[in-house]
A and B are shown apart, each in its own frame.
Chain A
Amino acid sequence: MSQLLQQLVNGLVLGATYGLIALGYTMVYGIIQLINFAHGEIYMLGAFGGLTMWKALPTGLQTKNYIALPLVLLAGIVTSTVVAVLMERWAYRPLRGAPRLAPLITAIGVSVFLQEAVRVFYPGAKGPLAFPALFTGKSITIGGVEVKYLSIFVVALAVALMIALQAFVRTSSTGRAMRATAQDPDTAALMGIDINRIIVITFALGGVLAGVAGVLTGMQYGAIDVHIGYIAGLKAFTAAVLGGIGNITGAMLGGFLIGIIEALGTQYLPQGSAYKDAYAFVVLILVLVFRPTGLLGESVAARA
């Protein structure tokens, strides 16, 4: 029993980062129907931005977690957000109105470009780089389940961000403009909404969440490399589709589900640790067969 709970906890923590990245996929898709394959790289850049900040700190501050952690998180957020916005401006905006395949292929190009740029220009990025834990305190044991404080922090922060995002989209006037743009960009523009501004905000929000996810991943696993965005991006994309692409709650739910499937698959299925990635995709295929819109995919109005 405690083994099951322990693996559930592992899955939740893993799923929290998938969910954070999946939100970026799902929001951008909701607004401009683009699957932004470079989003995984935005996440990777967040981790590198955070690491750069930590390295830049004077040695005395590096060990003071209450100062270093917010600064590193901030640096990760800023890096990811800036790159996400620039990416929208230079790579996707010129293709607005082009056939949908064009921005999709561009996204893959941007992804390769960003990965290679970091690999070539970031010192030491040709191999794995150690990332500081930035978190003191070990773990607590609840009913035979060992939970690291850092894990609690990761899940709590992810869920808090999702709730904040949900509240922002539901209640603020910018959020209303986002929803209007998602429903019908032309009519929204007629109502005086600056579509380009909304799209930039959407990319920026995705960047913020990916930046947080990048730093959290580095802290949890202790090392980052330029390829982390590729696999995590693929899993997060899967999570977004699983939850119903375009749906914010769905993305987070999908993320947690993929994480839990991986953890439980490792424990209980034959050859589990070897095939855990396959199990996640099997579940995706099954869901898409029976519910092509994903688990929560209907709450956004279907369009054209």
Chain B
Amino acid sequence: MRSRIVRLAVPAVVGAVALAGCGSNKSSNSGSSGNGGKTVTIGLIAPLSGSLSALGAGMNNSVDLAVKQANANKTIKGWTIRYEPQDDQATPNVGAQVASKLASESNVGAVIGTLNSSVSQQVQPVLAQAKIVQISPANTNPPLSQGPNFAKGDKKRPFDSYFRTATTDSVQGPYGAQYLYTTAGKKTAATVDDQLAYGVGLVQQFGQEYTKLGGKILDHESVTGGQKDFSAVISKIKPKHPQAVYYGGQYPEASLLAKQMKAAGLNIPLMGGDGIQDPTYIKVAGAAATGDLATSVGAPTAQLATAKTFIADYKAAGYKEPYSTYGALSYDATNVAIAALAKALNGKDKIDDSVKQAIITAVQNTKVDGVTGSVSFDQFGDTTNKLLTVYKVEGGAWVPVKTGSFNGG
């Protein structure tokens, strides 16, 4: 009897895993002001719940703001924009599900998102098949736009409908490596990734440049999403005496890694990419975060002259959550989409395949001045704006220490 129960339990566990994937999907409509009878939907796919929801909320609010403004200004003649945010829970298969939902709707003009590169991997083919343009404000994993063999120089764009306003890890990783080796003077490092597309890619790109500069990578470890105990990994790294740890992944794990690392006497800075550059990182790691470094895409929003109106508008709209790392990039991505829709939908009655193709072409030819600087896309759909910023934790906040473009590599 006992073993039968255990046998029953295994499918039950599998069931629980599947169930955990389903959650609440809220969709809300914004922009009630009528602007002609026709409606076009702009979707968002981002983590609105779960441990990355702080970033997702900033994206959600920023897209919402852009849509509301466009509706108020009647930017798209004869059409009203309906905004439909979808929660991907930072989980690839959930992302694929909500992408399918958006793809099945008849009037979706563009989708903003995702946050996670791993989620985008699943979302891209679904949207591409429906010829829906996708603009990510946050994906930095190079293969998404340059194909799996990009590192060997064989760059091939997998999806014509995919664009991003965030620069890639083939810029971010090396930029971080240069800063860590040259500016911070850390000549040896250990790398840790979270086994997801973004983290693995970032660590790889970092490692290539770091070794090229003469740095030594003494150890490489992997952790899993949701992991809380890092003592075993830390004990393994510690006797190798690296001068820094480079982490490829997101802040929920990174903050705990930093905290436990320093509590275990491994007092070296942790550096990561845009995935860890979030206020929650400091809130969780506390004093242990001091001195930690992160690169992030674009220049710091608060310091951009071009971002003043955005920040003021965002504040005036009274959103509960801060615009966070990707707010400005999401706002730009949405405005790129809206501008393309305005061009492609002009004089049209419905969104058919030829209109969708026109939207894709219009996004490809985008050239606008956005909040984060000038926005345009290269032949892979990647932004031509390769500005990056290094942040350092000082006095309980991420302080920008260096902004620039990666050159060389």
Contacts and interface: CB of A to CB of B under 8 A. Distances in A.
A and B: bona fide binding partners: yes
Given A221-B229, A262-B232, A277-B224, A116 B260 contact: no
A111 B18 CA distance: 13
B20 A223 contact: no
A33 interface: yes
Interface string B222-259: 11101111011101100100000000000010011001
Interface in B1-35: 1-3, 5-6, 8-9, 12-13, 15-16, 19-20, 23-24
Contact of B51 (A14, A29, A128, A288): A128
Interface stretch (A4-12, A57-65, A184-192, A200-208): A4-12
Given A108-B19, A222-B256, A35 B231 contact: no
A105 B236 contact: no
A70 interface: no
Interface string B336-348: 0000000000000
Contacts of A129: 284
Contacts of A266: 221, 232-233, 236
Interface residues of B, number: 49
B283 interface: yes
Contact of B231 (A10, A225, A245): A10
Interface core residue of A10, A220, A246, A267 (most chain B CB under 10 Å): A10
A148 interface: yes
Interface residues of A, number: 59
A116 B2 contact: no
Overall SS of chain A's interface? helix
Interface stretch (A155-163, A171-179, A227-235): A227-235
Nearest to A273: B221
Given A7-B232, A108-B15, A266-B232, A128 B255 contact: yes
Contacts, number: 142
Contacts of A126: 49-50, 53-54
B53 A130 contact: no
A273 B235 contact: no
A119 interface: yes
A142 interface: no
Given A127-B53, A221-B256, A100 B284 contact: no
Interface string A198-224: 000000000000000000010011110
Contacts of A128: 51, 252, 255, 280, 284
A156 B157 CA distance: 57
A241 interface: yes
Contact of A119 (B49, B228, B256, B283): B49
Given A7-B232, A223-B284, A303 B54 contact: no
A28 to B, nearest CB: 12
A67 interface: no
Contact of A271 (B9, B222, B280): B222
B228 A217 contact: yes
Nearest to A119: B49
A183 interface: no
Contacts of A245: 2, 6
Contact of A267 (B9, B53, B236, B260): B236
A228 B252 CA distance: 12
A104 B280 contact: no
Given A37-B12, A108-B15, A217-B228, 6 more contacts: A10-B232, A35-B12, A105-B12, A128-B280, A230-B16, A237-B9
15 contacts: A7-B232, A11-B232, A105-B12, A108-B19, A127-B280, A128-B252, A222-B284, A223-B252, A230-B16, A230-B226, A263-B235, A266-B233, A266-B236, A276-B232, A304-B1
